[in-house]
Structure formats: C-alpha cells, structure tokens
C-alpha cells in the first residue's frame, strides 16, 4: 500500500507539495472604457467591475498597480449612435482606446497594455467583422483589424489582441505593424469558442450582435482538434502569445495547447459568464467566493496557462489569496 496521507498532514506539508500556485504576475486585468470625464459606471452583471472614463481609469490604476498587477486589457465601449456599419470609430488614431492608452502611458509608463482588436464593439450591427449582406466577410475585414491594431500600437499598446476570429488576422496585423516599424506584440485569441459564457461582457461592452450569432466565425465547442489547428495557424502567422477562451470550461484545450506549444506563452480568459457564475453562487451562499475563485484559477494554471485574464485579479490580491 502506498501511503498518500503524509502529503496532506498539515497546511505546511500541503503547501510544500503544491505543484501549482497562482500568483499576481499571472494576471491580466480587463478594463472597460467609456468616453467622458468622472464616469464610473458599475456593471450589474459583473459585480465589482465598472466602466471608467479615461481619467477615472487612470485613478483606478493606482490601486491596481499598488496591488502588483502590471498587465491590463482594454475594451472600448461606444455609444450606439456613434457606431456605423464599418466600425470607423474603432480604427481612428484618436479613438477612445488610443486616447486612453496615451493617458495611461503618461502616468504609468511601465504598465503593460493589451488591447482587444475586433469590430464588434464599434459596428452598429455588433458583429466582429464587416458584413456583406448578412454574412460576416473574412477578407475585407482583415485590413480594418490591421488598421485598428496599428493605431493601438502607435498610441503605445504593448500587445494587440485580435479577437474577431477572422482567418489570417494575425498575419494581416503582423505585416502592417512590421511595415510601419511598430514593435507591439500580438496576443492571438487563437482558440476562441462560440460560447454561452460571454453574456455579461456583451452587456458591459454593448457589443451583442443585433441579429444572428457568432457561430460562423467563433469555434464550435463540439470540435476536438480544431482549436489546436487554429493555434498552430496563428503561430505560423507570427503570433507572439496565444490564447484559449473561455478557460474554465476549456481546460482540455489549455492543457493540449501548453503541451503542443511549450515555447509560446499561453493565456487563458476566465470570461464574464464564468466570473458571474462563481460570484452568483457565492452570493447565494452556495460556495465560498475566495476559495471558489482560488480553485478555479488554480485549475486554469494547472492545465497549463501561463497568464490568466480575469475580472477577479484585484480581489484575488486584496483578499491575500
Ligand atoms: C470580442 C470579445 C468578447 C469577449 C472578449 N472580446 C465577446 C464575444 O466574442 O462575443 C468576451 C469576454 C468575456 O466574456 O469576458 N471583442
């Protein structure tokens, strides 16, 4: 008989044998930006998370940085009236995201800024690419994503993160960045599934599609190997980092990606619905919030993620987990 219980004797012994520990360095913390000044809009579906105007975001960053979080992911939230069919407001060099990047870098040059590169936040129809009729068109979308990435990079983003799930988006972005002498890296949302867990985000960002769904471009979760093929294609196109999204419900894909591409940093996104599920269960007294998040985030890291995008990052540190 092999005896395992000695590994679990007491807290110090269990700590000693722990293979995986989530740390503050793993986190990328998302921010939703709205235009204006002095705006702090709590997001009801994402308890504890708010949309900030750029000035308030910079103020909030003081705490984030003091907590030791040095990586953030920016999303622009645009009023419906300002959107158009082609998402013009998203790839202007003075876009909300660009202005915010510049402001952040003025105050906190060392913060590592990631930006979401996608049309869904900026188009009146809320799809991630350009429409031809009712179809999201791949190839005509590519230059627009590349242009959005370029203006983000020129404003000072360290990483651009294309999330539109258009084929060839990484190459289109890499080529344009290179041509324009920009050194920003690409975090590719490589294996991004058409998931039911993005609901609170779409509410927060006002980016729900006005018709149809995203199944013609985001991945079908019933596939097993396509995620690896998507990642492989992005790596070939020059992705610097790769991502699996969602995280909690896709641990198998995270695990396989980490084994298949050990040399490429791997991020996983604990998405809004996954966050909200844990929060809601905790609020209903069904689990301990801190311990539930600790277990969930540890599982994501154990599966092989090097970085975790999570709305819980600040709470994690605040609670001393
Ligand atoms: C698209 C984008 C989405 C999320 C991040 N980027 C929404 C979608 O693809 O439908 C979801 C993140 C979350 O749910 O927390 N730009």
Average pLDDT over residues 227-236: 98
Q: Which of 192, 279, 301, 314 is an active site residue?
A: 192
Average pLDDT over residues 119-128: 97
Residue-wise pLDDT tens digits, 280-317: 999 999 999 999 999 999 999 999 999 999 999 999 99
Q: Are 137 and 131 in contact (CB under 8 A)?
A: yes
Centre of ligand 1 to C-alpha 1, Å, is 49
Q: Is residue 15 part of a domain?
A: no
Task: Identify the pLDDT of residue 8.
Answer: 98
Task: Identify the pLDDT of residue 265.
Answer: 98
Q: Is the CB of 158 under 6 A from ligand 1?
A: no
Q: How far apart are CA 305 and CA 308, in angstroms?
A: 7
Q: Is residue 3 part of a domain?
A: no
CA dihedral over 40, 44, 48, 49, signed as positive or negative: negative
pLDDT over 90 percentage in the chain: 99
Active-site residue, 105 included? no
Average pLDDT over residues 20-46: 97
Task: Identify the pLDDT of residue 222.
Answer: 98
Centre of ligand 1 to C-alpha 8, Å, is 39
Task: Identify the pLDDT of residue 147.
Answer: 98
Task: Identify the pLDDT of residue 256.
Answer: 98
Task: Identify the pLDDT of residue 249.
Answer: 96
Task: Identify the pLDDT of residue 29.
Answer: 98
Q: Is residue 13 part of a domain?
A: no
Note down the domain range covering 187.
21-318
Count of beta carbons in the 10 Å neighbourhood of residue 264:
18
pLDDT over 70 percentage in the chain: 100
Domain harbouring 222, CATH code: 3.20.20.70
Task: Identify the pLDDT of residue 74.
Answer: 98
Q: Is the CB of 274 under 6 A from ligand 1?
A: no
Please give the mean pLDDT across all residues of the chain.
Answer: 97
Q: How far apart are CA 53 and CA 185, in angstroms?
A: 26
Which DSSP string corresponds to 153-201?
HHHT-SEEEE-S--TTHHHHHHHHHHHTT---EEEEEEEEB--GGGHHH
Q: Is residue 154 part of a domain?
A: yes
Q: Is residue 90 part of a domain?
A: yes
Long-range contacts of 173-176 (CB under 8 A, 24+ apart): 173/117, 173/145, 173/146, 173/149, 174/237, 174/238, 175/146, 176/143, 176/146, 176/147, 176/149, 176/150
Q: Is residue 82 part of a domain?
A: yes
Ligand 1: nearest atom to the Cα of 121: 16
Active-site residue, 59 included? no
Q: Is the CB of 120 under 6 A from ligand 1?
A: yes
Q: How far apart are CA 282 and CA 284, in angstroms?
A: 5
Residues in the chain: 321
Q: What is the pTM of this model?
A: 0.98
Task: Identify the pLDDT of residue 127.
Answer: 97
Residue-wise pLDDT tens digits, 88-99: 999 999 999 999
Query: How many structural domains comprise the chain?
Result: 1
Average pLDDT over residues 172-188: 98
Q: Which of 71, 245, 301, 314 is an active site residue?
A: 245
């Amino acid at each position: 008989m092999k005896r395992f219980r000695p590994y679990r004797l007491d807290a110090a012994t269990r700590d000693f044998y722990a293979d995986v520990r989530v740390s503050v360095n793993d986190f990328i913390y998302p921010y939703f930006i709205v235009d204006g000044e002095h705006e702090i809009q709590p997001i009801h579906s994402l308890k504890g998370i708010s949309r900030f105007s750029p000035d308030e975001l910079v103020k909030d960053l003081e705490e984030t940085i003091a907590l030791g979080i040095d990586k953030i992911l920016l999303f622009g939230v645009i009023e419906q009236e300002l959107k158009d069919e082609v998402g013009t407001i998203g790839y202007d060099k003075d876009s909300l995201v660009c202005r915010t990047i510049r402001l952040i870098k003025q105050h906190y040059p060392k913060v590592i800024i990631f930006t979401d590169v996608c049309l869904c936040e900026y188009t009146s129809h809320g799809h991630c690419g350009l429409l031809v009729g009712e179809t999201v068109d791949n190839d005509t979308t590519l230059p627009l994503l590349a242009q959005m990435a370029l203006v983000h990079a020129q404003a000072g983003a360290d990483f651009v993160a294309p999330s539109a799930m258009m084929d060839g988006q990484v190459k289109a972005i890499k080529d344009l960045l290179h041509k324009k002498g920009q050194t920003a890296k690409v975090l590719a949302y490589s294996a991004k599934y058409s998931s039911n867990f993005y609901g609170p985000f779409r509410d927060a960002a006002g980016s729900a599609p006005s018709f149809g769904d995203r199944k013609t471009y985001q991945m079908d979760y019933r596939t097993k190997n396509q995620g690896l093929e998507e990642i492989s294609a992005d790596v070939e196109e020059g992705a610097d980092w790769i991502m699996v999204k969602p995280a909690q419900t896709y641990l198998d894909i995270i695990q396989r990606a980490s084994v298949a591409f050990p040399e490429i940093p791997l991020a996983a996104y604990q998405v809004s619905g996954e966050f909200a599920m844990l929060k809601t269960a905790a609020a209903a007294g069904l689990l301990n919030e801190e311990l539930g998040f600790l277990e969930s985030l540890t599982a994501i890291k154990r599966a092989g993620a090097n970085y975790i995008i999570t709305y819980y990052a600040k709470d994690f540190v605040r609670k001393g987990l």
